[in-house]
Amino acid sequence: MADRSTAAVGVANESGEPPPTVQQDGATPDETTDQNNPQDARDAPQDEAAAEQHKGDSKPPELHSGHKLARRYQLEECVTRLDGFSSWRAVDEKLRRAVGIHLLPADHARARQVLAAARSAALLGDPRFVQVLDAVEENDLVYVIHEWLPDAAALSDSLAAGPLEPHDAYQMVSQVSQAMAAAHREGLAHLRLSPGSILRTGSGQYRIRGLAVTAALRGLKSERPQREDTEAIGALLYASLTRRWPYEEDAYGLTGLPKAVGLVAPDQVRAGVHRGLSEIAMRALVNEGATASREESPCTTPEELARAVAGLPRIKPPEPDISPYQRTTYQQGPYRQPPATPRPAPAPPAPPPALPGRTGKVLKWAVSALLIAALGLGSWQLADTLMGREEQNKDDTGTSQRAGQDPSSAAPGTPLAISSASEFSPLDAPIAADKVAFAVDGKADTSWITSNYKGQSNFGNLPNRIQGSGIIVDLGSRRKVTGIDLTMWVPGQTVEVLAAAPDASQPTALAAFPQRFAPAAKAGSTVQVTAGQPVETRYVLIHITDLPPESGGGFRGGITEIKVLGNS
């Protein structure tokens, strides 16, 4: 993606289309389209000449479920078919994951605009947006590949169950306004933020889909992109608080406001609405100078809106509901069970009748005495047994061992000589191949260190880095490896230790290391691995799959020292 993306500006300029800045932006293929939505009519292509040319020259690609693109992406389900383009859920057979794909003919009037928009969105690399993975023109088709989040629920699905709690509405407007402020600082706008373009993941993070691509697909432009996106965020907050759309028209499955009433503050539409959030929504929805009940200045940019939200007093999350069938405002999936009718708790069993006064006291004392005697006898026998075993160990070995410990496990082996080391670089994408020797030179002040990756901790989620990286150690010949000691450049990296087959020769692919010393786990400053049984191999791979965040931004990791232990 890095090689294709760096050419994005050049492609846009050569095609004669403006780059995908705040003039245009986009969506993702998994966002469904409401054909009866008045917003769709307002979002019709604003370039009438281009629209006419599109109607006359281009048709949606004649594709079907099961069709494969680039011998890799198999189309599964068409989600949207509109205005000469289609959006699909697909499977990336190479990486075995679901993806979304936008498809349109290469001669479509907006094909170049879509390519430029997608590549600019990919360069942003902000994890708060659904990431564009690739943008390609091939075989008379233009297609844009992006993330598919199967565990995320759209805001429209949440609102179908009811308005959000104040804390959830606060999190939504805070995260979305901050993300859009960052996008506008890079010259990118959305222009079609809607309840369907806001996703909430299982961890509570809100992700925005459609940056740069939806507007390009639909031919949307704006002279005031920041104002338009800010007002859209205000509408999302209004809908989250009231479950009403803040305009007269019904839209996105929400009922609009009564006609001739005008824009009414959310706390006047529904009882119990948080006053501060109500005023924030009105400040973002300000129209022709109208403001909320308090004379606060309007918010006209996502940056101003984010600052206004940050200035609110802390909003506490709701108390957890401990009922067996908790109802939430988030999508629970098709397998949720309806709340069960509460059943009265069974009456507790009646206690047994008490023994007569003096007889009961005598029996209690007798039982207590027997229990104390039994405990004392058992403790004495256990102590005698343990002392006898320890004396036996002293007689046999001259020293004391823990019960059950294998004496040979105390020393996993001696350091083995390392013949050479090389960088694990999938798809021939080296990071710092000339610094690998620093990880096996026995010095604590030298290290092999990765590049700084933006956006995501799995090496930026780049196609040529999806398998991670690391160092392959060559022991020169087959040796029986019993352990590995690692000193990491920084804690927090996810590391696994693998071994090649005994007969392997200069392995470079991940599949060539089938034996596992240690599963992938987050490591501290040091890692010590001991094999249950000696592993015969010549090559050991220290494989890093996830990087920790760096203080200056981005993600970076590395290895300071590697020691391989074995039987000499």
Tokens of 439: 């990880």
Q: Check: CB of residue 74 under 8 Å from CB of residue 94.
A: no
Q: Which of 104-118, 315-329, 385-399 has the highest mean pLDDT?
A: 104-118
Q: Averaged over 99-126, what is the pLDDT?
A: 94
**Averaged pLDDT for residues 209-230:** 95
What's the pLDDT at 553?
84
pLDDT at 382: 66
Alpha-carbon distance 136 to 119, whole Å?
10
Q: What is the mean pLDDT of residues 453-459?
A: 87
Q: Which of 331-335, 456-460, 562-566 has the highest mean pLDDT?
A: 562-566
- The answer to whether residues 136 and 70 touch, using CB atoms and an 8 Å cutoff, is yes
pLDDT band at 360 (very low <50, low <70, confident <90, very high): low
DSSP state of 410: G
Q: Is 32 a residue whose pLDDT tops 80? A: no
In which band, very low, low, confident or very high, does the pLDDT at 180 lie, cut at 50, 70 and 90? Answer: very high
Measure Cα distances from 304 to 22, 178, 182, 227, 500 in Å.
17, 10, 12, 11, 56
Residue 441: strand, helix, or coil:
coil
Average pLDDT, the chain: 79
Q: How does residue 349 score in pLDDT terms, banded at 50, 70 and 90?
A: low
Task: Please compute Rg for the chain using Cα positions.
Answer: 32
Q: What is the 3-state secondary structure (H, E, C) of 488-513?
A: ECCCCCEEEEEECCCCCCCCCCHHHC
Q: Please tell me the predicted confidence (pLDDT) of residue 397.
A: 35
Among residues 456, 439, 475, the alpha carbon closest in space to that of 558 is found at 439
Check residue 205 and give its pLDDT: 93
Predicted structure pTM score: 0.52
Q: Which of 84-93, 476-485, 502-511 has the lowest mean pLDDT?
A: 502-511
Alpha-carbon distance of 460 to 431, in angstroms, equals 13
Q: Residue 329 — pLDDT band, cuts 50, 70, 90?
A: very low
How do residues 306-316 score in pLDDT, each as one tens digit? 999 999 998 98
Kindly state the helix (H) or strand (E) to which residue 566 belongs, with its residue range. Answer: strand 558-566
| Cβ atoms of 421 and 440 closer than 8 Å | yes
pLDDT band for position 260 (50/70/90)?
confident
3-state secondary structure of 429: coil
pLDDT in tens, 404-427: 334 344 446 889 999 999 999 877
Give me the helix-helix angle, 166-185 and 302-310, nearest 10°. Answer: 140
Q: Which one has a higher pLDDT value, 400 or 65?
A: 65
Q: Tell me the per-residue pLDDT of 119-132, one tens digit each, with 9 for 90 and over.
A: 999 999 899 999 99
pLDDT tier at 163, thresholds 50, 70, 90: very high
Share of the chain above pLDDT 70, in %: 73
Residues 145-161 have a mean pLDDT of: 93
Q: What is the predicted pLDDT for the residue at 398?
A: 35
- What integer pLDDT is reported at residue 518 of this predicted model? 80
- Average pLDDT on 12-17 reads 34
Q: Is the pLDDT of residue 48 over 60?
A: no
The DSSP output letter for 427 is G
In this prediction, residue 287 carries a pLDDT of 58
pLDDT at 272 over 50: yes
Which range, 21-30, 209-218, 292-301, 365-374, is most confident?
A: 209-218
Q: What is the pLDDT of residue 486?
A: 94
Q: Which residues contact 50 (CB under 8 A, 6 or more apart)?
A: 109, 110, 219
pLDDT at 192 over 90: yes
What was the pLDDT predicted at 420? 92
Least confident of 243-257, 278-292, 510-524: 278-292
Asked if the model's pLDDT at residue 53 lies above 50, the reply is no
Q: pLDDT digits over 496-526, tens only? A: 999 998 888 888 888 888 888 888 888 899 9
- Give the pLDDT confidence of 430-440 residue by residue, as tens digits: 888 889 999 99
- State the pLDDT at residue 381: 67
pLDDT over 50 (residue 230):
yes
Proportion of the chain above pLDDT 90, given as a percent: 51
Q: What is the pLDDT of residues 57-76, one digit of tens each?
A: 445 457 889 999 999 999 99
Listed ranges 14-23, 237-246, 316-325, 518-527; the one with the highest mean pLDDT: 237-246
pLDDT computed for residue 387 by the predictor: 60
